[in-house]
């Protein structure tokens, strides 16, 4: 079987259309909205702030705490029952691990930086969208970080290596499917999240990771622009006066 | 709130000036956006000032309740998401979220806004369940009004999904909208000292003596009431607050067109 | 071959390359990796001779010795008062720093300051674990009565105060409001209701445009638009960075 044309009619290396905006939740210390295809994610950062219970505090540095959640109406089929599921708890954990390598929380002993990720709408790639949104929100919150973190799903559908799988591709029934979410630190290419569903050869995996890197550099530009735009808007208005 | 600061606030209100310069009966900027989630059967986003609330409708098919075999069901759930306010913690809904859901629910249910008989598929066996979920994105005062408005807007945005061979096909929508026969609108009025105000800011909510949420239909009939706050209301208070609420309900309803 | 890659006052994001070459020195908010200097905070690039640093645009307040701040009493203990200072860390006001009265052991401390009171105090010490001590003994330090409290971005405080207090003096002069700006992003105001609203909106305007040129002039014409020509204050400064 050969996958000759993507369901969404994209090129095999093409990302879905992406939108990103920083500073969308006024109460939060930092926030972002990130949309890739039909998957949308809000991220809000509160911190550094007081951490309870006390036994979780680290006197040497601040800790990061991520909470990923799907809104009840965000599933492709039935209503999603509110509250943490095993899946959302795992995603919260790998999201934390994906973001930690760039963060410097030394200045915040005994405190916590809370990241909340909420999705109003999903169409595959939700944990990656969450990580992209969370990175923007952390920078917006003024948290010291070496770089942003960017994530995308790559994989294999039948015989083709593809970038940014949508739900239709994940659910493809004509042949084997592998779904590989990847998060990277763009300036160094270091990988901070790697998971896989499906079956691939090592060769294919390495090819897919190369494609992930290229896609991630494109998404990175959009994340950066979202942050700069938050402050540029005023400058443009000023120049027009 | 600190009593001296509260006195200062009250004297400002007595001059019809609020913390952000609005008059007592003025709402902040309101925006209603329909269809913000394409995985929901219907959805909406309501913004009142800095308060942002989303509502989404999911439909499912179940057996009707034994005491109402020829009717469908409505469920309203609300979550005060921790991302929307530094004081909200993750976890099961607390009293505030439950009160919010139940007050919105009463406005819709008691007004018979949705014709539940039209949700029936097969008497005693199958009916549609309309599940309305409200979530907060930024909680900056007046969640009651924003949540109720978002719920109704989401209902208006809802189409029945295709139901064939005893299964719901969530990927296909029919052309049939939910049978919304009335449009209940909630308005919350606060009493602070001798002043009545609508669309409170968080500082005003913290200082309030009492509040009254009034849900009303197009005809001006009241379909739900909820009093909150630690202090009492006189009959005169209630009369004037209801009048103010009815006036503002018409204003808010205009945003659903 | 050293090169600076950004302009002075340009908005930069974490990970952005600011300069190449060993001739430049990484200052606050930057780090060196190999040959490059990269940003570790979201903020404005600041080029000062060979030093490159970041002026942060966001981030929660971190307590600093000698800062004059506004704190809210959240606990009255046997030894003093605990204050919420709009930070991940609370501050402790010991009895003898709270009043010059002779206080007997076991006396009721709420007669001085009670729950919910706002105090203008000064930070005397911050430990490495971020334990904070404050004092009420000093000029201008006092309990606040009446008025209202608003929050602002602590990084905008220098702009709101202005050089030698020129900006906040301009607002006080025009609106006839009492205004005290805490380094921790809390501001106390008291005036007539209408004038307070003008002061609050003017401060919001400064916050939004703090990083832009010509702000002092803009604030001046905004206030003159409402109140008419402002009296010249002695020692008023021109626009500063």
Summarize pLDDT for A119-151 with one digit per residue, the tens: 999 999 999 999 999 999 999 999 999 999 999
Q: Is A209 left (phi over 0), alpha (psi -120 to 50) or beta?
A: alpha
pLDDT, tens only, A68-117: 999 999 999 999 999 999 999 999 999 999 999 999 999 999 999 999 99
pLDDT, tens only, A76-86: 999 999 999 99
Q: Is residue A31 part of a domain?
A: yes
CB A88 within 8 A of CB A138: no
Q: Is residue B11 part of a domain?
A: no
Q: Is residue A183 part of a domain?
A: yes
Q: Is residue B1 part of a domain?
A: no
pLDDT, tens only, B196-255: 999 999 999 999 999 999 999 999 999 999 999 999 999 999 999 999 999 999 999 999
State the pLDDT at residue C233.
Answer: 59
How many Å apart are CA A16 and CA B87, to the nearest integer? 36
How many Å apart are CA B69 and CA A103, to the nearest integer? 58
Tokens representing residue B163 in the block? 């139901």
State the pLDDT at residue C235.
Answer: 46
How many Å apart are CA A92 and CA A70, to the nearest integer? 11
pLDDT, tens only, C98-131: 988 888 888 888 889 999 999 999 999 999 999 9
**Binary contact (C16, A141; C-beta < 8 A):** no
Check if C56 contacts A (Cβ < 8 Å): yes
What are the phi and psi torsion angles at A231 (to 5°)? -100, -25
Give residue for tokens 């929660």.
C60
CB C26 within 8 A of CB C35: no
Q: How confident is the model at residue C232 (pLDDT cuts 50, 70, 90)?
A: low
Region C210-239: what's the mean pLDDT?
76
Q: How confident is the model at residue C241 (pLDDT cuts 50, 70, 90)?
A: very low
Number of domains chain A is built from: 1
Instruction: Measure in Å the smallest separation between the Cα of B31 and chain A Cα atoms.
Output: 15
Q: Is residue A93 part of a domain?
A: yes
Q: Is residue A45 part of a domain?
A: yes
Region C95-99: what's the mean pLDDT?
92
**C206 has a pLDDT exceeding 80:** yes
Q: Which residues of A53-84 are buried (b: 16+ CB within 10 A; e: fewer)?
A: eeeebeeeebbbbbbbbbbbbbbbeebbebee
Q: Is residue B125 part of a domain?
A: yes
State the pLDDT at residue C238.
Answer: 34
Q: Is residue A209 part of a domain?
A: yes
Residue A36: closest CA among A95, A122, A115: A122
3-class secondary-structure state, position B180 = strand
**Chain C from 108 to 127: CB within 8 A of any A CB:** none
Instruction: Measure in Å the smallest separation between the Cα of B1 and chain C Cα atoms.
Output: 7
Q: Is residue A191 part of a domain?
A: yes
How many Å apart are CA A57 and CA A112, to the nearest integer? 8
How many Å apart are CA A152 and CA A141, to the nearest integer? 23
List the CATH number of the domain containing B97: 3.30.230.70
Residue B145: closest CA among B109, B184, B180, B87: B184
Instruction: Return the percentage of chain A with pLDDT > 70, whole number.
Output: 96
**B92 has a pLDDT exceeding 50:** yes
The DSSP-derived string for A31-87 is EEEEEETTEEEEEEEEEEEE-SSGGG--TTS-EEEEEEEE-TT-SSSSPPPSS--HH
pLDDT, tens only, A186-197: 999 999 999 999
Mutation target to probe the B interface, by most B beta carbons within 10 A, among C193, C202, C204 is C193
Instruction: Return the percentage of chain B with pLDDT > 70, whole number.
Output: 100
Tokens representing residue B136 in the block? 């907060």
Check if A27 contacts B (Cβ < 8 Å): yes
Region B28-56: what's the mean pLDDT?
98
Check if A73 contacts B (Cβ < 8 Å): yes
Q: Is residue B206 part of a domain?
A: yes
**Binary contact (C148, B17; C-beta < 8 A):** no
pLDDT, tens only, C211-221: 777 889 999 99
List the CATH number of the domain containing A95: 3.30.230.70
**C40 has a pLDDT exceeding 70:** yes
Q: How confident is the model at residue A233 (pLDDT cuts 50, 70, 90)?
A: low
Number of domains chain B is built from: 1
**Binary contact (B20, C197; C-beta < 8 A):** yes
**A232 has a pLDDT exceeding 90:** no
What residue ranges define each of the domains in chain C, with the CATH number in brackets? 3-56 (2.40.50.100), 68-143 (2.40.50.140), 148-227 (3.30.1370.10)
Residue A66: closest CA among A38, A47, A39: A47
State the pLDDT at residue C240.
Answer: 27
**A234 has a pLDDT exceeding 80:** no
Q: How many CB atoms are closer than 10 A to CB A9? A: 7
Q: Is residue A13 part of a domain?
A: no
Q: Which domain holds residue A166?
A: 18-240
Neighbours of chain B (3+ CB pairs under 8 A): A, C
CB A42 within 8 A of CB A33: yes
Q: How confident is the model at residue A236 (pLDDT cuts 50, 70, 90)?
A: low
**Binary contact (A139, C14; C-beta < 8 A):** yes
Q: Is residue B150 part of a domain?
A: yes
Q: Which residue of B has its CA nearest to A51?
A: B89
**Binary contact (B8, C200; C-beta < 8 A):** no
Q: Please list, in sequence order, all residues whose beta carbon lies within 8 angstroms of the beta carbon of residue C108, skipping any fewer than 6 positions away.
A: none
pLDDT, tens only, C122-151: 999 999 999 999 999 999 999 999 999 999
């Amino acid at each position: 079987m050969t996958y000759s044309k993507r369901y969404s009619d994209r090129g095999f290396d093409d990302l879905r259309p992406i939108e990103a905006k920083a500073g969308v939740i006024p109460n939060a210390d930092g926030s972002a909205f990130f949309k890739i295809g039909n998957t949308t994610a809000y991220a809000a950062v509160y911190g550094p702030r007081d951490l309870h219970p006390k036994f979780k505090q680290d006197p040497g540095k601040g800790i990061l705490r991520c909470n990923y959640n799907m809104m009840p109406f965000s599933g492709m089929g039935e209503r999603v029952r509110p509250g943490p599921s095993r899946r959302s708890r795992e995603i919260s954990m790998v999201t934390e691990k994906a973001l930690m390598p760039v963060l410097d929380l030394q200045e915040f002993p005994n405190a916590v930086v809370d990241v909340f990720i909420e999705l109003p709408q999903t169409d595959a790639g939700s944990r990656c969208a969450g990580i992209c949104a969370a990175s923007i929100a952390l920078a917006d919150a003024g948290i010291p970080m070496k770089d942003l973190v960017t994530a995308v799903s790559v994989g294999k559908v039948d015989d083709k290596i593809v970038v940014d799988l949508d739900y239709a591709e994940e659910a493809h029934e004509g042949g084997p499917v592998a779904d590989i979410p990847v998060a990277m630190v763009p300036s160094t290419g270091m990988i901070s999240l790697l998971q896989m569903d499906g079956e691939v050869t090592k060769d294919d995996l390495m090819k897919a990771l190369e494609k992930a890197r290229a896609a991630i550099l494109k998404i990175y530009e959009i994340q950066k622009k979202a942050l700069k735009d938050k402050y540029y808007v005023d400058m443009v208005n000023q120049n027009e006066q | 709130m600190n009593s001296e600061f509260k006195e200062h606030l009250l004297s400002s209100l007595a001059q019809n000036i609020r913390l952000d310069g609005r008059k007592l009966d003025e709402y902040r900027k309101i925006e209603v956006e329909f269809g913000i989630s394409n995985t929901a059967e219907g959805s909406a986003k309501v913004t009142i000032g800095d308060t942002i609330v989303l509502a989404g409708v999911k439909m499912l098919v179940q057996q009707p309740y034994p005491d109402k075999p020829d009717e469908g069901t409505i469920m309203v759930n609300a979550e005060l998401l921790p991302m929307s306010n530094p004081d909200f913690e993750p976890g099961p809904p607390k009293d505030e979220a439950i009160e919010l859901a139940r007050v919105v629910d009463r406005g819709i249910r008691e007004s018979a806004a949705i014709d539940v008989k039209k949700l029936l598929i097969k008497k005693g066996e199958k009916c549609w369940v309309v599940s309305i979920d409200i979530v907060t994105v930024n909680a900056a005062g007046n969640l009651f009004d924003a949540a109720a408005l978002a719920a109704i807007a989401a209902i208006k945005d809802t189409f029945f999904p295709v139901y064939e061979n005893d299964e719901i096909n969530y990927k296909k929508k029919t052309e049939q909208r939910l049978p919304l026969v009335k449009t209940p609108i909630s308005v919350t009025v606060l009493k602070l000292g001798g002043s009545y105000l609508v669309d409170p800011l968080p500082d005003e909510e913290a200082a309030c003596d009492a509040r009254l949420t009034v849900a009303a239909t197009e005809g001006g009939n009241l379909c739900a009431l909820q009093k909150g706050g630690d202090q009492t209301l006189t009959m005169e208070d209630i009369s004037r607050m209801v009048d103010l609420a009815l006036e503002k309900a018409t204003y808010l309803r205009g945003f659903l067109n | 071959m050293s090169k600076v890659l950004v302009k002075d006052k340009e908005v930069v994001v974490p990970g952005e390359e600011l300069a190449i070459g060993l001739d430049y020195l990484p200052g606050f908010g930057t780090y060196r990796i190999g040959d490059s200097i990269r940003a570790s905070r979201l903020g404005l690039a600041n080029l000062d001779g060979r030093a490159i640093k970041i002026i942060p645009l966001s981030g929660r307040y971190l307590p600093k010795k000698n800062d004059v701040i506004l704190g809210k009493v959240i606990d009255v203990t046997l030894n003093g008062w605990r204050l919420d200072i709009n930070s991940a860390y609370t501050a402790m006001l010991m009895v003898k720093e709270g009043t010059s009265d002779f206080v007997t052991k076991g006396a009721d401390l709420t007669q001085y300051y009670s729950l919910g009171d706002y105090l203008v105090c000064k930070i005397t010490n911050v430990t490495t674990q971020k334990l904070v001590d404050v004092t009420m003994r000093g000029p201008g330090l006092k309990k606040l009565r009446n008025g209202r409290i608003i929050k602002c971005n602590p990084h905008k405080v220098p702009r709101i105060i202005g050089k030698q207090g020129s900006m906040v003096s301009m607002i006080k002069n025009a609106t006839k409001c009492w205004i005290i700006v805490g380094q921790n992003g809390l501001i106390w105001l008291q005036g007539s209701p209408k004038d307070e609203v003008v002061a609050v909106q003017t401060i919001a305007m400064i916050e939004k445009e703090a990083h832009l040129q010509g702000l002092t002039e803009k604030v001046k014409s905004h206030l003159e638009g409402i109140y008419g020509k402002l009296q010249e204050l002695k020692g008023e400064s021109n626009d500063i960075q």
